[in-house]
Each structure stands twice: as structure tokens, then as C-alpha cells.
Amino acid sequence: MENLILQKDKLPELIEKLSSNHVLYGPTEENGFSLFKQISNFDELNLKYLLTRVPPKSLIFKQTETLFKFTPGRKGTVTSTEINEEKSLIFAIRPCDARSFKILDPVFEGNFEDPFYISKRKNTVLIGLTCNSPERNCFCTSFDDSPGSTENVDILFTDLDDRFYVEVVTEKGKNLIKSVEDIFEKSTKNDEDSKRNIVTKSVESITRKMDLDGLVPKLDKMFDHELWHNTAQKCIGCGICTYLCPTCHCFDMQDESSLREGARIRVWDSCMYPEYTQHASGHNPRAIRMSRVRNRVYHKFSYFPKNEDITACTGCGRCIDYCPVNIDIIDVIEEVGVISNE
Amino acid sequence: MTATETNSEMEEFEPNIIGFLCNWCSYAGADLAGTSRIQYPPNIKIIKVMCSGRVNPMYVVNALQQGADGVLIGGCHPGDCHYQHGNLLARRRMAILKNLLEFIGIDSRRVRMTWVSAAEGRKFAEVIKEVTEEIKKIGPMKDIQRVNEW
Amino acid sequence: MVDQQLLIDEVKKVVSRDDVKYVIGYKKGTTGFTISPAFAYSTEYADKFIFNPLCKKNLAAYPLLEDKLPLKREEKEDKRKIGIVAKGCDTRALVQIIQEKGLNREDLVIIGIPCSGVIDYKKITAMFPNETAYSTIEEEQGFYKITINGKVHEIAKEELLADHCTSCIAPNPVIYDVLIGEEVEPWDLEEHKNLDVLEEKDVGERWEYWKEHFDRCIRCYACREACPLCYCKECMADLLNPQWIRRSVNLSENTAWNIMRAYHLAGRCVGCGECESVCPVNIPLMELNKEIEKDVKNIFEYSAGMDSEEKPLFGTFRPDDPEEFIM
Ligand code: SF4
Ligand code: SF4
Ligand code: SF4
Ligand code: SF4
Ligand code: SF4
């Protein structure tokens, strides 16, 4: 399908149409920050912010998921949860956040298939939005990604001031556009150039860079280095860096029940919490903050690339923005580089 | 909700009240009310604790989450506490808890405290009557109740 | 303004003492307006120490956070003191912990900083969303002078001042071993923002307000981890048997959690604002804390963290404590 143009004044119509047959999530503003919420109306949408505070992983890998229900006793039963096949759509997802699903896919669709994630992933169309003005801690370009990348979205919108340039990338995207084709116009070469210029400007404005060159072997040699202790000394173990990270996927499973019924639920957890690794015996293999901070770095930049051939970071910068004690992942990786060159 | 709906719901509403009563005074007072065949509303479900000072504020919150419309904490009169001053510690805690609940938007009349001695069966019955009446007026506690929506 | 050289000199003196392990303070962060906690083990490292109005973080949590590795055979525990740079509210947190016997006064060397209020990180980043660095930041008669890329911005203090500082009862350190510079004049106390508005509302309206906030809580417990006074070995929220709060994230459990957190800090919260400032979804936790603080003051004439010899609020009572609510 060729690329299209959507005049900005047609956006309300598009939102209305799409939300009539999809659960449509879009960024909304609330208490001075942005969150993805289900919307049905253009007025609820807020595109002022670059990234939502909580990443859109929460829409596919839900914070609380019911795995199955049970009733107790000798005649007890176990009922599996019905898989929700609802069609949904994430509007204005940024390219880095879209890329996070590529990183989460092998976790939930790999050796062990998670039906909840899979169905939501399959039934969700990702409509991306190019970042016209990246922020101070963006570094997606370090991962060969770009603020205007079409790679991980079904459709990509780019804001050209009075209109959106619309690139239809996948079959899923094509099918969606077909249903609302009449509100789009044809695009010209000129539009394509405008997008290219915007992306070039955005890429230039990204100042932070992470050096990933040879990082895996470097880390292999550094497991016992004092860097981890020094870094972790200021970590307060709050878990913000993992809860807000689009690629973090630690979870816990617990049974919740009242007298007559109960359910096994899955909830987000974090490797930054001591309880995460606490054994029933009381022993904790990651008993100190040093080992937890180190694990976060190794999981993202060593274990994950080894196992899945992709680094588990998208360069969104959330962990840098919101870590209350300035544990800056780019800085940590830079120190790894400096130390290995010594 | 229309006014008539509210009314009819209120008429049928029988509140669930959890009573945390201390072993030495209030529970004995409740016992006395029972053995003396003094009538009081059946809305209260009693949980015996060793001392009103044992009542962790989270017991109260948890009760409200699990379907209680009101919570009553009963202890010995000041000076009579079997553990000397457990009731006076409880008094401090509940004063702050009630204010906090009120500030969050949970009617603090749902959480009551009373001193009932082992000899005050009649007082016990009266307290239960009053608490039940009041909570009937406030209506059911739905705001923070667990929904078990799995 | 705190004299930077004086601070560095004092830190050097403390860190070179034989009975001191390290000194906790602040250094410049890696990006934007961030500040990083810093741990000086040597006099050279102390040169990095700073104190400016961005140094909001309460460092009082660190002495209790220290990673304790199992000792090797014949190895002795390092029992030397910890030095700590502390503003008014930070020292109140230390006093409170000492009162509760979480720390020993003798194990600390407190470098007190008279404080004239700190900048709210969320406010300053909202004002300069894309600045990657600043060169200096100074306070001058009701203004902050911030130099960014050679350009000086003068911003009225109240635009950036952290909300909790307007009701601070102790900007000067309550306890210290050395004081950097002169004590500051305490200022006219204001009630915490929004409390009066909330108190005016009726109970149902207040629930509507809090419901919207609690609904958004992602139960990361960052508010707990950041708080210097949340140092229980095992938090009630993490207990599994009995499980007081379910791990499911929904309004009921989130409300229970927020009541639990706020309540457990009654008479202990020193108003440092850490919890609210780390909350990733901007829940106004200080409104809860400050309301309780006010009640505790009004009902029991008690303020947390002012006197380490005092008994903890809930560990004591007065025969004439008010009881008009009791039947
Ligand atoms: S590690 Fe940090 S920068 Fe990387 S994806 Fe996670 S939050 Fe974003
Ligand atoms: S956000 Fe920072 S302080 Fe919190 S757990 Fe992560 S690294 Fe530690
Ligand atoms: S609360 Fe007081 S001591 Fe603490 S930062 Fe604010 S003004 Fe300074
Ligand atoms: S920091 Fe905020 S979101 Fe996290 S648990 Fe506390 S109140 Fe909830
Ligand atoms: S509750 Fe918040 S304001 Fe109070 S001491 Fe803890 S972190 Fe500071």
C-alpha cells in the first residue's frame, strides 16, 4: 500500500471510527504526565508528551493477570481463564516502545507460550508516532533504532504540522486502513521528504549514546568487579527502573482466595526487590543490593543478548529520568567500557 | 440512583459489623448480655482478641475490604486493662486511624470504639444497637470492598 | 548559600578520621538537574561533594541500607562510624530512627546543613524540559539564579520550592556534630498545599479525589523504599501468611496499601517529601502525611524527630488523651 496523508482535522473522525470497533488506547494527560488509557474520543488524547510514564507494555503484559480460578475442597475445581480475543489498537506508540515488544516476544512466545500475552499481541494493532523532539535521555539510536522507525509498528504516523504522513507497514496495518480508507489522501514525494527531514533533525538532537561494542564479552570479565558495589551503594531498591522499563518482565504468581473461590494471579515483580529471589527456606541468592543492581544490568546487556540475540533495552531513557538516585544506565555502561580498557 | 431506589435499598440493608472485643472486659460484657438474654441486633460478628491494644489498624482496614460495613473495637475502661494500658494505646491509634479514614473519604463513623466492662451487658447491647442504627444510616461500605474480580 | 569549600573541608576532616568508614553526601548527577548521592571513602573523593538547592534527597535512609555481607572467618565487623551530610529534615529522620533504636547516635557523624528549602525536581524539569546540564544554581533573596549554557535565569523561589518545605518546622539541623555555616532564620509556616481545600470537602467528595489517585497506584512500593523511616525488616505489605494486602493491583488493595503506608508513618514521618517525589505516578502522598502530622500535633502535641529521648507516639499514652469518640 502506498503511503498516505491524514489532514489533522480528520483525526477526531479517525479516532471515533477506530474506537467503534476496537479497544483504542492512546496517550492521555493526567496530573501532569502521560499515560495510555482507553479512549473513544479525540478530546481525551494528548500528544504533547513524548513518552507515557508507564510504558505500553502494561497493555499487553498486564500488571495483574488472572491465570485460572479455583474452588477449594475435595470437590474443588479449576477453571482456566477465557482468553480475551478483543481487537485493540495502541495509537501514538513511540518507536522505542514499539520495539519493546520485539524484546518481550521471545519471553512470552518462546519456549514457553503465554496465551494471555500472545492473544493480546496478536489482536493489537500498533500505530506509531514519529518523535519530532526527542528528550534529554533518549538514546534509541544506540540500538540502530530511529525516532522515525517503521520497523516494529503496523502503521507509522509522522506529524507534518498540519497533516500526518502515514506509512502503512504491515498486513495488519493495511487491513485496518482499508476500513477507514476514505478519510486519507494520497501522499506526495514532498511529504516523504518532509518526514525524512524531521527524522534527520530528531536523530541529530539525540545527544546521549551508549557504546554497545563488545559489551557482552566485556561484562563477562567483570562479574566480580567493585563497580557493582559502588553503583549499588546508592540504589534504594525502589524498583522504579524496572516497573517503568518497557522491557522488564519479572513477575510473581500468587494465589488469592476468599472462602469459596480463588484464583492464581500473575503480577509484575522486580528483580530489584529482595523478595523476588527469596527462597522459602529463607536463603536469598541475591541477598544484597549489589547483586540485584548487577543482575539488572547483566540481564539486559549480557544474558538477554546471549539467549535471544537482542539487547533488552530500547533506549527510552525512563530509568534514567525516574531513578531517584541518578543511577544512569548509560553512565554505568560507559564505566564498564572504561574499566575494560584499563 | 434515584431517591426511591436509595430508600428501598436502605430499608433492606442489614449491615455487617465486625467487633474486635478484648477477652477480659468487652467480650465478657457481650457474654453477659447473652446469658442475661438482653436483646441486641444480630449484625455484629465478634472476634475475640486478648486486648484492644492488639487490634492492628490493618485489622480494621482488612475488615472493611472483606465486606464489613462497620468495625467496633471494645476494650476495658481506662485503668481496668488486664495489661495495664493496652486500651490507652489503642485509644491513641484509633484516634489517628479515624481521622485518616475520614480524610481519605471513608466515613469515620464506621469505625467505633467502646469501653465495656464485664459487668456491662446492658451497655454492650446498647452500644451494638446504636452502632447498628448509625451504620444503617450511612449505608453499605462499597468503596474499598474487595471485588474478587478474577 | 552553603559555602562549598567549607563543606568539602569538613567532609575531608571527617573522612580522614580513623573511626569513620565513609561520608555520605551529594555530588552532581549525570544529566540535567539530577543530583547523585555520593559516598566518600577518601579525601580526594570529597572534592566532588556539593550542596545546592537541588540536594533534596534525604540521605538518612542510607546508614540502614548498608549491604552487610556475611563475615569471613576471623573477619570482624567494621563498626566504624558513618558520616552523613544532613539538612533539617534529614536530621529529624535520624533523630526519629535513633529514638526508635534503629541507629545509635554514636555510630554517626552528622555534618549539619542549615537549609533554606530545596527545589522540587519535578518542577524544575517541567520548567526546563530539555536542558541536559546546568553550570551553577544559587539562591539569592527570594530568587534562584540558575546558569544554563552561560545564560542566567532568575526564577522566583516559590515557583520551584518543594511544597513540603513551606511547612518545615526545622530547617536547621536538630542534631549535628559540625554545622556548615550559620543557622538560617526559620520562616513563617504555611499549611501544606491543598489541605484546606480537601478539609472543606465532604467525605464523599474526598473519596472521589483519593479514589482517582489510588486507582492509579502501580504498587511499586517506591514510596516505602525511599522513606528513611520505612525500615522494617519485613514490611506488612510483603507478608504472605497472613497476607494483609493482596498483590493484585486494584482500587481496594491500593487503598489498603496507601492507608497502611500513611498510618505506619503517623508520628514518625518527618515531612521530608521523599515518598511523594519518587512516586512514579504523582500521587500526592504528602497530603496524607501532612494531614496526619497536623492531627498528631493537634491531638497529642507531638512532632516526630525532634527529640531522640522522647517516647515514640504510639509507644506511649497520656491518661487524659482525648476520647470523645469512644462510646
Ligand atoms: S533499561 Fe532504561 S532506557 Fe533501557 S528500555 Fe529500560 S527504562 Fe528504557
Ligand atoms: S530506580 Fe534507581 S534507586 Fe530505584 S531500584 Fe532502580 S536503580 Fe535503584
Ligand atoms: S523540609 Fe525543611 S530541612 Fe527539609 S528540605 Fe525542606 S526546608 Fe530543608
Ligand atoms: S510510589 Fe506511588 S505508585 Fe508506587 S506504591 Fe507508592 S503510591 Fe503507589
Ligand atoms: S513518609 Fe514521606 S515525607 Fe514522611 S519521612 Fe517518609 S519519605 Fe519523608
Q: Tell me: the pLDDT tens digits for A111-149?
A: 899 999 999 999 999 999 999 999 999 999 999 999 999
CA A117 to chain B, closest CA, distance in angstroms equals 17
From CA A104, how far away is CA A245, in angstroms rounded? Answer: 12
Position A57, amino acid? K
Is C40 in contact with C11 (CB distance < 8 Å)? yes
Is B37 in contact with B62 (CB distance < 8 Å)? no
Neighbours of C52 (CB within 10 A): 20
pLDDT for the residue A328: 97
B43 assigned to some structural domain: yes
Nearest to A60 by CA among A128, A119, A15, A112: A119
CATH number at residue B96: 3.40.50
Q: What is the DSSP letter of C144?
A: E
CA A45 to centroid of ligand 4, rounded, Å = 25
Domain extents in chain C: 4-65+79-179, 195-315
Residues B16-60 pLDDT 10s: 999 999 999 999 999 999 999 999 999 999 999 999 999 999 999
Residues A154-190 pLDDT 10s: 999 999 999 999 999 999 999 999 999 999 999 999 9
pLDDT for the residue B3: 46
C242: preceding bond cis by omega (within 30 degrees): yes
pLDDT for the residue A204: 96
* ipTM score of complex: 0.93
Nearest to C111 by CA among C211, C194, C3: C3
Of B65, B88, B104, the CB nearest to C207: B104
pLDDT for the residue C318: 92
Q: Where are the beta strands (DSSP E) in B1-150?
A: 17-22, 44-49, 70-75, 111-115
Instruction: Reply yes or no on whether the pLDDT at B2 is more than 50.
Output: no
Residues C92-136 pLDDT 10s: 999 999 999 999 999 999 999 999 999 999 999 999 988 888 999
pLDDT band at B150 (very low <50, low <70, confident <90, very high): confident
Strand order in the sheet with B70-75: B44-49, B17-22, B70-75, B111-115
CA-C268 nearest atom, ligand 5: 5
| Number of domains into which chain B is organized | 1
Look at A289 and C29 and tell me if their CB atoms are within 8 Å: no
Of C248, C255, C313, the CB nearest to B144: C255
Q: What is the DSSP letter of B67?
A: T
Please return the burial class of B16, using the count of CB atoms within 10 Å of its CB with bins 0-12, 13-18 and 19+: middle
C281 in contact with ligand 4, CB cutoff 6 A: yes
From CA B83, how far away is CA B92, in angstroms rounded? Answer: 16
CB-based contacts of A220, cutoff 8 Å, min separation 6: A302
Residues A225-240 pLDDT 10s: 999 999 999 999 999 9
Domain that holds residue B68: 15-138
Q: What is the mean pLDDT of residues C285-298?
A: 96
Residues C169-180 pLDDT 10s: 999 999 999 999
B6 assigned to some structural domain: no
Instruction: Reply yes or no on whether the pLDDT at B10 is more than 80.
Output: no
From CA C224, how far away is CA C263, in angstroms rounded? Answer: 12
Expressed in percent and rounded to 5, the helix, strand and coil fractions of chain B are: 50, 15, 35
Q: Which residue of C has its CA nearest to A323?
A: C278
Chain A positions with Cβ closer than 8 Å to B: 66, 69, 81, 256, 258, 261-263, 265
- Interface check A320 vs C, CB under 8 A: yes
Of B85, B106, B114, the CB nearest to C326: B114
Element holding C82 (H helix, E strand): strand C81-86
pLDDT for the residue B149: 74
From CA A67, how far away is CA C161, in angstroms rounded? Answer: 46
From CA B118, how far away is CA B24, in angstroms rounded? Answer: 7
Chain C positions with Cβ closer than 8 Å to A: 29-32, 34-39, 57, 61-62, 65, 67-69, 122, 126, 129-132, 216, 218, 220-222, 225-226, 238, 240, 246-250, 274, 277-278, 280-282
Chain B residues with CB-CB distance to A84 below 8 A = none
CB-based contacts of B123, cutoff 8 Å, min separation 6: B29, B116, B117
Position A205, amino acid? S
Count how many pairs of residues, chain A against chain B, have C-beta atoms within 8 Å. Answer: 13
B146 assigned to some structural domain: no
- Which of C:222-281 have CB within 8 Å of B? 236, 244, 246, 248, 250-253, 255-256, 258-260, 262-263, 266-267
From CA C82, how far away is CA C59, in angstroms rounded? Answer: 12
Element holding C160 (H helix, E strand): helix C157-160
Is C157 in contact with C163 (CB distance < 8 Å)? no
A315 in contact with ligand 1, CB cutoff 6 A: yes
Is C282 in contact with C222 (CB distance < 8 Å)? no
SS (H, E, C) chain A: CCCEEEEHHHHHHHHHHHHHHCEEEEEEEECCEEEEEECCCHHHCCCCCCCCCCCCHHHHCCCEEEEEEECCCCCCCEEECCCCCCCEEEEEECHHHHHHHHHHHHHHHCCCCCHHHHHHHHCEEEEEECCCCCCCCCCHHHHCCCCCCCCCCCEEEEECCCEEEEEECCHHHHHHHHCCHHHCEECCHHHHHHHHHHHHHHHHHCCCCCCCCCHHHHHHCCCCCHHHHHHHCCCCCCCHHHHCCCCCCCEEEEEEECCCCEEEEEEECCCCCHHHCCCCCCCCCCCCHHHHHHHHHHHHHHHHHHHHCCCCCCCCCHHHHHCCCCCCHHHHHHHHHHHHHC
State the distance between the two ends of chain B, measured CA to CA, in whole angstroms: 27
| pTM for the full predicted model | 0.94
pLDDT band at B4 (very low <50, low <70, confident <90, very high): very low
pLDDT for the residue B7: 53
CA A272 to centroid of ligand 2, rounded, Å = 7
Residues C31-66 pLDDT 10s: 989 999 999 999 999 999 999 999 999 999 999 998
What's the sign of the alpha-carbon dihedral C164, C169, C171, C174? Answer: negative
Q: What is the DSSP letter of C306?
A: S
User: Percentage of chain C with pLDDT > 70?
Assistant: 100
Nearest to C35 by CA among C109, C114, C118: C118
Chain A residues with CB-CB distance to C32 below 8 A = 136-137
What is the rounded average pLDDT for all residues in chain C? 94
From CA A323, how far away is CA A270, in angstroms rounded? Answer: 14
Is A56 in contact with A246 (CB distance < 8 Å)? yes
Residue nearest ligand 4's atom 3 by CA? C217
**Left if phi > 0, otherwise alpha if psi is -120 to 50, otherwise beta: which for C219?**
left
Nearest to A134 by CA among A55, A30, A57, A208: A208
C237 in contact with ligand 4, CB cutoff 6 A: no
pLDDT for the residue C2: 86
- Interface check A253 vs C, CB under 8 A: no
Integer CA distances (angstroms), C179 to B26, C10, C21, C87, C93, in order = 54, 9, 20, 10, 17
Of C253, C260, C319, the CB nearest to B78: C319
CA C231 to centroid of ligand 5, rounded, Å = 12
Instruction: Reply yes or no on whether the pLDDT at C247 is more than 70.
Output: yes
Nearest to A332 by CA among A241, A244, A249: A241
Integer CA distances (angstroms), A335 to A300, A302, A321, B9, in order = 16, 15, 19, 66
Element holding B61 (H helix, E strand): helix B57-65
Look at A256 and B150 and tell me if their CB atoms are within 8 Å: yes
Neighbours of A147 (CB within 10 A): 26
Q: What is the dihedral of CA A169, A172, A175, A181, to 10 degrees?
A: -40
Mark the ranges of chain A whose per-residue pLDDT is less than 70: 1
Length of chain C: 327
pLDDT for the residue B8: 53
Length of chain A: 342
pLDDT band at B9 (very low <50, low <70, confident <90, very high): low
Nearest to C285 by CA among A327, A63, A31: A31
Look at C220 and A270 and tell me if their CB atoms are within 8 Å: yes
Among A314, A323, A333, A334, which residue has the most ligand 1 atoms within 8 Å of its CB, making it the best to mutate? A314
Residues forming a β-bridge with B113: B73, C326
Please name the residue ranges forming H helices in B66-142.
Answer: 86-104, 121-138
Which chains does chain A touch, 3 or more C-beta pairs < 8 A? B, C
Is C243 in contact with A57 (CB distance < 8 Å)? no
Q: Which residue of B has its CA nearest to C265?
A: B96
